[in-house]
A and B are shown apart, each in its own frame.
Chain A
Amino acid sequence: MNAIKPSLASRLSTKSPWLYRINAGSCNGCDVELATTAIIPRYDVERLGCQYCGSPKHADIVLITGPLTARVKDKVLRLFDEIPEPKVTVAVGVCPISGGVFRESYAIAGPLDKYIPIDVNIPGCPPRPQAIIEGIAKAIAVWQSRI
């Protein structure tokens, strides 16, 4: 595939990014922002073709929230392996980057990029909906170079 000018099929494919949320021990703040971003009419991300899917097997863009606690680490890694290629990973909130308010806790196995390649970081505690939408748009640009 040409990296400079992607093929037509690849450009059309990026109009249909399906989102999947993984909660890696988040406090739910970022999850509420994610749900709000997609579901309420004001920030409708379906106009970008996005759709939340219930199954990791249908996902294209993975949104991971939370600091990756020791308890959920194995489950998160297993879920990540269930997502078919090509996929893009987005870390939502400050927790996956540094642990946020939970940093240096004995219960934290993070930071997340020790285990999973992260493509886009959306910092914030929690990030604003606009920031999340911008992060998804950047993830779509990354995804275009892969599909």
Chain B
Amino acid sequence: MPDSLSLLVSVLVFPGGFFALGLGLLIKGVDRRVAARLQRRVGPPLLQPVFDLIKLSRKETMIPAQASGAIFRWVPLVGLSAMVLASAMIPIGGVYSPSPELGDLLVLFYLLAVPAVVLMLAGSASGSPFGAIGFSREMAIMLAYEGPVLLALLSVAIRVGLGEGHLISLSLTEIVRYQQLHGAFLLDPWMWPAVLSFLCFFPANLGVLPFDIPEAETEVLEGPLLEYSGPSLGLFKMMSAVKAVVVLGLGVALFCPNGPDGVLGLALFVVKCTVLAVLGVTVVRTGMGRMRIDQAFYFFLKWPAALGIASLVIVLVRL
């Protein structure tokens, strides 16, 4: 029975909070560096996201006259705290398994929707027309990607549930334990449709090319973030860094969580997250242009949805 102190530590220090923030900033730094190398540039130092945060904390915060002040000011904090809570719910194979008090896969799935809602609120509260465009685009793309990724999550949950003898398993700890006994799902070709469908979800949820449509700098000038400056913009950067860890960590937990105990397991988790970020985000974003919002909408309702349904059928038929 975990006491509230250890819960607090797991949310604020490890593996949530500071650890997740540090890892997220490191992954962002690696991402920018690798992207620069792929374009034959030198690229920024690895700690560049940290420098950005320090810089932002020393800038002036401007609140536009037409913004609705309280929402504009507090909404980034809501997003960051939701992500910090979610980061404590990600199991690390062999090192950490979240206590059941924190919630299961469904709670995590709902928490993952919070940053998108926060961006929508921020965009509409800023009173800027670009923010409003970003708001409507964020909503459209979120509606498109939530369904397919739910199918992918369900097929993993049902596969584990049927293997364990009940219908569905929504506990990430159980999913990790099942894979440590029976091998990672990444090595099982029958699970590859779910993997692919989840891979499509990465760039959309993290807001990078080809799905950075709500924040497109060249079209809507970073949309919802347009009016944010200084420390409150820094809160958004921190939110997106922790979100990267949550989404990547969820991918690792769902498909290849196997790892040794102790420090080695932790190092392996960091390496897996980084490799997944480079392959799933950096290479994709340097290699592609931006889609239009209607193209992205149809893309998600076509391919990831089809893959998700296929994987659900495979899981139900084979077991």
Task: List residues of A whose CB falls within 8 A of some B CB.
Answer: 9-10, 12-17, 41, 44, 46-49, 53-55, 57-58, 60, 82, 84-86, 147
For the complex, what is the distance from the CA of A76 to the CA of B222, rounded to whole Å?
20
Is B261's beta carbon under 8 Å from chain A?
A: no
Contacts of A17 in B (CB 8 A): 55
Report whether over half of chain A's contact residues are helix, strand or loop; otherwise say mixed: loop
- Does the CB pair B43–A49 fall under 8 Å? no
B41 at the interface (CB under 8 A from A): yes
Interface of chain B, main secondary structure? loop
Q: Give A14 to B58 CA distance when docked, in angstroms.
A: 11
Question: In the bound complex, do residue B54 and residue A84 qualify as a contact, i.e. CB atoms below 8 Å apart?
Answer: no
Q: Which of B42, B52, B59, B217 contacts A54 (CB 8 A)?
A: B217
Give the 6 A-B residue pairs with the shortest CB-CB distance, closest first.
A54-B221, A54-B217, A44-B41, A84-B60, A57-B229, A13-B55
Give the docked Cα–Cα distance between A89 and B222 (Å): 22
Option from A9, A16, A57, A84 in Cβ contact (under 8 Å) with B48: A16
Q: Is there an interface contact between B60 and A85, defined as CB atoms closer than 8 Å?
A: yes
Seed contacts A46-B41, A57-B62; 12 additional CB < 8 Å A-B pairs: A13-B55, A15-B45, A44-B43, A46-B44, A49-B44, A55-B221, A55-B226, A55-B227, A57-B229, A58-B222, A60-B59, A86-B58
Instruction: Assess whether A44 is in contact with B36, with CB atoms less than 8 Å apart.
Output: yes
Contacts of A86 in B (CB 8 A): 58-60
The residue on B at minimum CB distance from A10 is B58
Question: Please, how many angstroms separate the alpha-carbon atoms of A13 and B59 in the complex?
Answer: 10
> From residue A7, how far is it (CB to closest CB) to chain B in Å?
10
Q: How many residues belonging to B are interface residues under a CB distance threshold of 8 Å?
A: 31
Return 16 A-B CB contacts under 8 Å, by A number: A12-B51, A13-B51, A13-B55, A16-B54, A41-B39, A44-B41, A46-B36, A46-B41, A47-B44, A49-B48, A54-B218, A58-B222, A58-B229, A60-B59, A84-B59, A85-B60
Closest chain-A Cβ to B134's Cβ sits at a distance in Å of 11
- Residues of chain B from 36 to 88 with CB closer than 8 A to chain A in the complex: 36, 39-45, 48, 50-52, 54-55, 58-62
Give B residues with C-beta under 8 Å from A. 32, 36, 39-45, 48, 50-52, 54-55, 58-62, 217-218, 221-222, 225-230, 233
CA distance A23 to B58 in the complex (A): 27
Q: Tell me whether B226 and A54 are in contact (CB under 8 A).
A: yes
Contact between chains at B229 and A84 (CB < 8 Å): yes
> In the bound complex, how far is the Cα of B54 from the Cα of A14, in angstroms?
9
Q: Do A54 and B43 touch across chains, with their CB atoms under 8 A apart?
A: no
* Given contacts A57-B229, A84-B229, A13 and B54 within 8 Å (CB-CB): yes
Let me know if B51 and A15 touch, CB within 8 A.
Answer: yes
Contact of A84 among B44, B61, B222 (CB under 8 A): B61
Instruction: Please indicate the chain A residues that have their CB under 8 angstroms from the CB of B226 in the complex.
Output: 54-55, 57
